[in-house]
Amino acid sequence: MTAVRHRPKITRRVEDGEKVYRFTCACGLEGVERASRKMAAADQADHLASLPKIPADQQCRDPQRHRTRWWERCPVCADQLPLPLEGLEGVCCGDRCRA
């Protein structure tokens, strides 16, 4: 099963001398033509809110660096194992220790 990528955008065009805005997404969903950009942005927000939630262990911890959106699974962060912090409280790092 391939993952569906969502890349929503709002396009503007002039029809009969008036500007109309429409939300479109790479998944194939298109909104209706709206009179204002805010209305098309509301359609976009509704679409993103309807997407299934990503489990916490698959969410990106650094979206800007990894170039992922909040609604997508992060291929870098999702496959990392949690750090075993239990039992390491008393471990010192030698000369570099500031404790």
Q: Which amino acid is at 60?
A: C
Residue 24 confidence (pLDDT): 93
pTM score: 0.67
User: What tens digit of pLDDT does each residue of 18-65 get?
Assistant: 999 999 998 888 989 999 999 999 999 999 999 888 888 888 888 889
Q: 7 burial class (0-12, 13-18, 19+ CB within 10 angstroms)?
A: exposed
User: What tens digit of pLDDT does each residue of 74-84 get?
Assistant: 888 887 776 66
Residue 1 confidence (pLDDT): 44
Residue 61 confidence (pLDDT): 85
With DSSP H G I counted as helix, E B as strand and the rest as coil, what are the percentages for the chain, rounded to 5? 25, 15, 60
What three-state secondary structure class fits 37?
Answer: helix
